[in-house]
A and B are shown apart, each in its own frame.
Chain A
Amino acid sequence: MPKVRVLAFARLRELLGESREVALAEGATLRDLWSSLLAAEPRLQGLESGMRFACNQRLCADERTLHEGDEIALLPPFGGG
């Protein structure tokens, strides 16, 4: 069960807090991480629109497999200017 740290920004931070630890099944991907966050916090529904993930301070694909100790940042696009 790899444990990862999730960092959230902007509207996601308002729902998830700035940082939280999440335990996932072996072989889980970033997509699975999002599903588990969504199950815990239904108000996240729809907020993944356009969002990217960063793993250990690098932007990465949603299919990436997670490992123990990974730091995941949820990066929604911002609307304001």
Chain B
Amino acid sequence: MNLAGSHALRRYSRHLLIPEIGLAGQERLAAARALVIGAGGLGAPVLAYLAAAGVGRIGIIDDDVVDESNLQRQILFEQTDIGRPKAEVAAQRLHALNPQIAIDALQRRFDASNARELVRLYDVVIDCSDRFTTRYCTSDACSLEGKIEIFAAIFRFDGQVTRFDPEGPCYRCLFPHAPEPGSVPTCAEGGVLGVLPGIVGAWQASEALKALLQIGEPLRGRLMLVDALAARTREVRFERDPECIRCGENPTLFEPVDRPEEESVALTGVAEIAPEELDAALREALLLDVREPHEVALGLLPGALHVPASQLEARMHELDSAKRYVVACRVGVRSRWAIGRLRDAGFKRLAHLDGGLLRYAALDAGFEFF
């Protein structure tokens, strides 16, 4: 690619001044292709910085639409974008930011059916997804197609960032076993400091640009731990695991795997109450809300008994095992945990609100919940 011309020289002059980049590096970026999986909290800064840096072709894959609760951190989106497809809005913003680059807006889920053929079209893949199934699928596809992957994940004030290379280590070397479905909270369940994905995503963008420019010391075999609350980063070294089913000595995995997200694993012997059934169920039972005290400000169902999960053991005596309870939390993760503890304590007349108060609130305009 030829970047000659005063316009390009002016736009990228601050890169051209750096000896490690210069005109040759900038031309390398212009010829490069990057795929960003997920246009959410991490995706926003990654996409913005790659586009601004002049990466010649950027793929954005996301099947979601903009929600008002995204705007606290997903800085590519604006109030008027609510309800619009994220991939489409992001492509529009990036085009406005840098009309000289090509954007592929892919409004669908990245999964085993399309992973390899998509990854094949790009030089580097940046995983900004928020699902474990997508993470395994991304890593498998990159390993199989010989692509570099820049990975990150976040929780509240904490982030993890690293790079996986085709020769390993891969995501499966780091986390060979996916967590139990529902045991690890997402941003929707646990919350996240708005700027945290900005910090962590900026690290991803930096690693992606370094990979494309082939400069610096790659974050390979090093898991960077970002703690915004302490304003501290740490590093943990890791290697290719000889036992890894994808990149180990005797691999057994030759196609990307995406198990369907088992978000609602049934609790054996406990009735699952669908949001539509909750009103009827509450004629004969009490709603036991196990969210933490600070979450009450986001909405409270009238008549609910509120015992936070963190206080459940200490306040068990306030509950009556002869009564019926429908146990609920925000999205239905902690309520499952609470049911387990209650059953251990001898409670038998328990039911579980599937999808939590968030899904119930989506049905009923009369219940204010955020």
In the complex with contacts A9-B227, A43-B310, A78-B184 CB distance below 8 A: yes
Residues of A within 8 A of B185 (CB): 11, 79-80
B145 to chain A, nearest CB (A): 21
Contact segment of A23-31, A32-40, A47-55: A47-55
Minimum-distance CB pairs A-B, first 9 = A50-B179, A81-B130, A59-B238, A78-B153, A80-B187, A49-B179, A78-B155, A49-B183, A79-B184
A21 to chain B, nearest CB (A): 18
B310 to chain A, nearest CB (A): 7
Residues of B within 8 A of A50 (CB): 132, 175, 177-180, 183-184
* Nearest opposing residue in chain B for A15, CB measure: B310
Of the candidates A18, A54, A59, A77, which one forms a contact with B153 in the assembled complex, judged by CB atoms under 8 Å apart?
Answer: A77
A81 close to B184 (CB less than 8 A): no
* Nearest opposing residue in chain B for A14, CB measure: B156
* Nearest opposing residue in chain A for B152, CB measure: A81
In the complex with contacts A81-B129, A81-B130, A57-B236 CB distance below 8 A: yes
B319 to chain A, nearest CB (A): 18
A46 close to B235 (CB less than 8 A): no
Which residues of B are at the interface with A, using a C-beta cutoff of 8 A? 38, 40-43, 127-132, 152-160, 174-175, 177-180, 183-187, 189-190, 192, 197, 223, 225, 227, 230, 234-239, 310, 313, 337, 340
Within 8 A of B (CB), among A62-81: 73, 75-81
Residues of A within 8 A of B158 (CB): 9-10, 13, 78
B41 close to A80 (CB less than 8 A): yes
Residues of B within 8 A of A81 (CB): 38, 40-43, 127-131, 152-154, 187, 197
Residues of B within 8 A of A45 (CB): 337
Chain B contact residues, majority secondary structure = mixed
B52 to chain A, nearest CB (A): 21
Residues of A within 8 A of B159 (CB): 78
B184 close to A76 (CB less than 8 A): yes
A47 close to B183 (CB less than 8 A): yes
A79 close to B236 (CB less than 8 A): no
A78 close to B154 (CB less than 8 A): yes
A11 to chain B, nearest CB (A): 7
B225 close to A9 (CB less than 8 A): yes
Bound Cα distance from A11 to B175, whole angstroms: 17
B38 close to A73 (CB less than 8 A): no
B311 to chain A, nearest CB (A): 10
* Nearest opposing residue in chain A for B183, CB measure: A49
Bound Cα distance from A78 to B127, whole angstroms: 13
Bound Cα distance from A50 to B183, whole angstroms: 9
In the complex with contacts A43-B310, A59-B237, A79-B185, A52-B175 CB distance below 8 A: yes
20 contacts between A and B (CB under 8 A): A9-B225, A10-B158, A11-B155, A13-B158, A42-B313, A49-B180, A50-B178, A50-B184, A57-B237, A73-B234, A76-B184, A79-B132, A79-B184, A79-B187, A80-B41, A80-B153, A80-B190, A81-B40, A81-B128, A81-B187
Residues of A within 8 A of B180 (CB): 46, 49-50
Residues of B within 8 A of A9 (CB): 158, 225, 227
* Nearest opposing residue in chain A for B309, CB measure: A43
A34 to chain B, nearest CB (A): 15
A43 to chain B, nearest CB (A): 7
Of the candidates B40, B177, B223, B227, which one forms a contact with A59 in the assembled complex, judged by CB atoms under 8 Å apart?
Answer: B223
In the complex with contacts A50-B179, A77-B175, A78-B160, A57-B235 CB distance below 8 A: yes
B230 close to A59 (CB less than 8 A): no
Bound Cα distance from A71 to B60, whole angstroms: 40
